[in-house]
Amino acid sequence: MTSKSLEAVALRDDRYRVLVEAIVDYAIYMLDPQGNVASWNRGAQRFKGYTEAEIMGEHFSRFYTEEDRATGLPARALHIAATEGRFEQEGWRVRKDGSLMWAHVLIDPIRGDDGQLVGYAKITRDLSDRKAVQEALSQSEQRFRMLVQGVQDYAIYMLDPLGKVSSWNRGAQRFKGYTDEEIIGEHFSRFYTDEDRATDLPARALRTASSEGRFEAEGWRMRKDGTRFWAHVVIDPIRGEHGELVGFAKITRDVTERRNAQQELEATRARFIQAQKMEAIGQLTGGVAHDFNNLLAVVIGNLHLARKHLPPERKLRQLIENSIQAAERGATLTKRMLAFARRQELTRAPVDVPALVRGMAELLQRSISSNIPVSTQFPLQLPLAFVDASQLELALLNLTVNARDAMPKGGTIMIAAREAQVGTDEVSGLGPGHYVCLSVTDTGEGMDEQTLARAAEPFFTTKGVGKGTGLGLSMIHGFAEQSGGRLVLKSTKGQGTTAELWLPVAEAGVLLGEDQAPAPNLPALKTMTVLVVDDDPLVLMNTAAMLEDLNHKVLEASSGEQALRILRRSETLDLVITDQMMPGMTGTQLLEALKADHPDLPVILASGYAELPEDKIMGVVRLGKPFEQAELARALVMSLRPEAEVVPFRPKHG
């Protein structure tokens, strides 16, 4: 080789040396064949902490951890480099100060022109920062995985782009019932109902999430065992670095209890609003009926008095009789209004059920369509039922109207009654005894088991808005139980409905009800001074007129306060008749005042209402409005001589 060639080689080597020495981001150094350090650049000094003077000639194994030295890793690294031409690895290396760094190591063998091994080139890069980031990311992923797996109140899982399950947490297993092995790789549409799959909802949910960035909905979802739960579902798309769709994140929560609670709250609120509405209607109805009662009392009372003074003219008497019948029919209507408003007491008495039904025939037929025939079926002999006749009429009317509504396309209604002896547990909720079973049967649509079970609940109705309050059957149920009986509903879907009213039979010796009672037998009374108290001047005048017709002297008061003033002035007063509903002082309040100053003075309380404080009226004779002269006379006798032996009653103009 010429001198110029040698100079060129030397110059090139110097350049390489300068280049290697200048590199500070890599440790580049030489090892001899035994592994001792033969060269050292600035990068090596920066990473490892040794100066060139400290490290030259030292074995490179000192850069390895004790664990790696114990396993012979340094020697194996040189052996692999020499035999395979390269050794590459990442691992922990030790600095001069004993600290560790995560290093990428590359060892290449260096051979002479004759192929003999003359040493090794070793390049090391400090990747501690990258390692720290990777470990932090790995720990974060592990913590997130633990978090997702630990959540049991939410089903959190992944779907691939086609909708197949690719991950599954414990919450998903708890909600849906599938284990990882059972569900991974299966399509998520199996969680949807048949109805939702028929409308392609699963595919639409993924399309919506992919195109709009999110899908959120609530609906029924299926568990492994086939049961349903109400779920809140969120589906989010997952995209890669370049925006490509790589799958979906799906979060599901079981909100069945919340939904049930919300529905119950809404139902309770609706029932409360309905109850308020019905209470307002009831108050209005009761008020109207009360005032109507007063008017009827005047009309009926005056007609009866007028009838006594009529000349023997048949036409005129016929007109009066017709007016009395119309007024009495109005009184019956008022009783029904008060019964609806819960302001009429339950007056139980023996009732001839077939006779009651026949008496309602015109009303019942008017209440239903003319194309629905109503037939009856009664035995030749039937015992009397012990029940409130007015309430029974209202219940029968309700049942007949319900039967009509169940037959929008027409049909037939059968009203029947039979006698029955009930033993223990023969009819649910009915005690053993002797009963009259009044039934209304239609040929309508019938009810399924679920509807039948709720039919008598307050405010439950299958009718449309504005077509039913849901109170009819519940009122009948309450009336039947209050009467000592039972309402029993029997129905099959598509085969009609039978409503049975089980009513207790009247015991022998119980007196007939007022509507069925014979003419009263009353003792004659001496002339008395009676104080009549009523805020309605028409009722006041009518009651006074009937008393005067019975040969009694009458004092009148339009209020409780005026009545007390009259009592203070009067020395000879035999009896007081007072209305209940009066402004300022009610009838019961007047009773209390009278008991304090005149404890022995007989009092009759006249009212069409049932809602009276029983503790305030114990032992007081009550007179229901509207009343006739005979009923007034009977009340006078009961207030003065409740133990009197009855004799025929004869008004002075009989």
The pair of three-digit structure tokens given for residue 106, joined into one six-digit string: 């590359």
Question: Does residue 144 have a pLDDT over 60?
Answer: no
Give 108's contacts (C-beta < 8 A, 6+ positions apart): 81, 85, 86, 120, 121
Which residues is 123 bridged to in the sheet?
28, 106
Question: Does residue 390 have a pLDDT over 50?
Answer: yes
3-state secondary structure of 195: helix
| Residue pLDDT, tens place only, 539-577 | 888 888 889 888 899 999 999 999 999 888 876 888 999
Question: Does residue 609 have a pLDDT over 80?
Answer: no
Q: Which residue has the higher pLDDT, 392 or 144?
A: 392
Which residues is 555 bridged to in the sheet?
531
Contact 122, 30 (CB under 8 A): yes
Q: Which residue has the higher pLDDT, 455 or 106?
A: 106
Q: Which residue has the higher pLDDT, 429 or 467?
A: 429
Question: Does residue 127 have a pLDDT over 90?
Answer: no
The answer to whether the Cα torsion of 185, 189, 193, 194 is positive or negative is negative
* Alpha-carbon distances of 120 from 43, 62, 293, 470, 619, rounded to whole Å: 17, 16, 123, 98, 125
The strand pair at 155-159 and 245-254 is best described as antiparallel
Q: Which residue has the higher pLDDT, 316 or 333?
A: 316
Determine which of 6-15, 89-98, 121-130, 177-186 has the lowest per-residue pLDDT on average. Answer: 6-15
What whole-number distance in Å separates Cα of residue 174 and Cα of residue 167?
14
Question: Does residue 260 have a pLDDT over 80?
Answer: yes
What whole-number distance in Å separates Cα of residue 646 and Cα of residue 216?
83
Q: Would you state the pLDDT for residue 650?
A: 38
Q: Would you state the pLDDT for residue 67?
A: 93
Q: Would you state the pLDDT for residue 341?
A: 52
Q: Which residue has the higher pLDDT, 251 or 607?
A: 251
**Side chain identity at 561, as an amino acid letter?**
E
Average pLDDT, stretch 75-81? Answer: 92
Q: Would you state the pLDDT for residue 44?
A: 85
Average pLDDT, stretch 289-304? Answer: 73
The strand pair at 413-422 and 433-442 is best described as antiparallel
Q: Would you state the pLDDT for residue 490?
A: 86
- pTM tops 0.85: no
- The continuous run of DSSP H or E covering 491 comes out as strand 486-491
3-state secondary structure of 224: coil
Q: Which residue has the higher pLDDT, 94 or 283?
A: 94
Q: Which CATH class is domain 348-504?
A: alpha beta
Question: Does residue 336 have a pLDDT over 80?
Answer: no
What whole-number distance in Å separates Cα of residue 627 and Cα of residue 623?
7
Domain 3-132, CATH number (from 1.10.10.10, 1.20.1250.20, 3.40.50.300, 3.30.450.20) = 3.30.450.20
Question: Does residue 593 have a pLDDT over 60?
Answer: yes
CA angle at 389 for the pair 383 and 392, rounded to the nearest 5°: 90
The pair of three-digit structure tokens given for residue 650, joined into one six-digit string: 């004869």
What whole-number distance in Å separates Cα of residue 127 and Cα of residue 104?
7
Q: Would you state the pLDDT for residue 467?
A: 42
Confidence of residue 371 (pLDDT cuts 50, 70, 90): confident
3-state secondary structure of 114: coil
Look-up: residue for tokens 């929008």?
408
Determine which of 171-180, 298-307, 412-421 has the lowest per-residue pLDDT on average. Answer: 298-307
Average pLDDT, stretch 609-635? Answer: 74
Contact 499, 439 (CB under 8 A): yes
Backbone angles phi, psi at 198, to 5 degrees: -65, -30
- Percent pLDDT > 90 in the chain is 26
Confidence of residue 266 (pLDDT cuts 50, 70, 90): confident
The burial class, CB within 10 Å (0-12 / 13-18 / 19+), for 544 is: buried
Question: Does residue 462 have a pLDDT over 60?
Answer: no
| DSSP assigned state of 519 | S
Q: Where are the domains of the chain?
A: 3-132, 151-254, 348-504, 519-640
Q: Which CATH class is domain 151-254?
A: alpha beta
Determine which of 120-134, 243-257, 585-599 has the lowest per-residue pLDDT on average. Answer: 120-134
Contact 385, 354 (CB under 8 A): no
Contact 58, 87 (CB under 8 A): no
Superfamily of domain 519-640: Response regulator (3.40.50.2300)
Question: Does residue 277 have a pLDDT over 60?
Answer: yes
Determine which of 92-106, 408-422, 440-454 has the lowest per-residue pLDDT on average. Answer: 440-454
Average pLDDT, stretch 141-158? Answer: 67
Cα 240 vs. chain centroid, distance in angstroms?
46
Which residues is 554 bridged to in the sheet?
530
Q: Would you state the pLDDT for residue 416?
A: 94
Cα 515 vs. chain centroid, distance in angstroms?
45
CA angle at 598 for the pair 597 and 600, rounded to the nearest 5°: 150
CA angle at 200 for the pair 198 and 204, rounded to the nearest 5°: 160
Average pLDDT, stretch 50-56? Answer: 90
Determine which of 13-22, 194-203, 266-275 has the lowest per-residue pLDDT on average. Answer: 13-22
Confidence of residue 284 (pLDDT cuts 50, 70, 90): low
The pair of three-digit structure tokens given for residue 607, joined into one six-digit string: 């009212």
Average pLDDT, stretch 80-94? Answer: 91
Question: Does residue 21 have a pLDDT over 80?
Answer: no
The strand pair at 349-351 and 385-387 is best described as antiparallel
Please name which of 393, 381, 380, 377 lies closest in space to residue 337, comparing C-alpha atoms.
Answer: 393
Can 151-254 and 519-640 be said to share one CATH topology? Answer: no
Give the chain's mean pLDDT: 79
Determine which of 125-139, 361-375, 527-541 has the lowest per-residue pLDDT on average. Answer: 125-139
Cα 430 vs. chain centroid, distance in angstroms?
30
Give 298's contacts (C-beta < 8 A, 6+ positions apart): 538, 539, 541, 542
Q: Would you state the pLDDT for residue 87?
A: 93
| DSSP assigned state of 132 | H
Average pLDDT, stretch 13-18? Answer: 52
Contact 32, 38 (CB under 8 A): yes
What whole-number distance in Å separates Cα of residue 459 and Cα of residue 473?
9
Question: Does residue 245 have a pLDDT over 80?
Answer: yes
Confidence of residue 5 (pLDDT cuts 50, 70, 90): very low
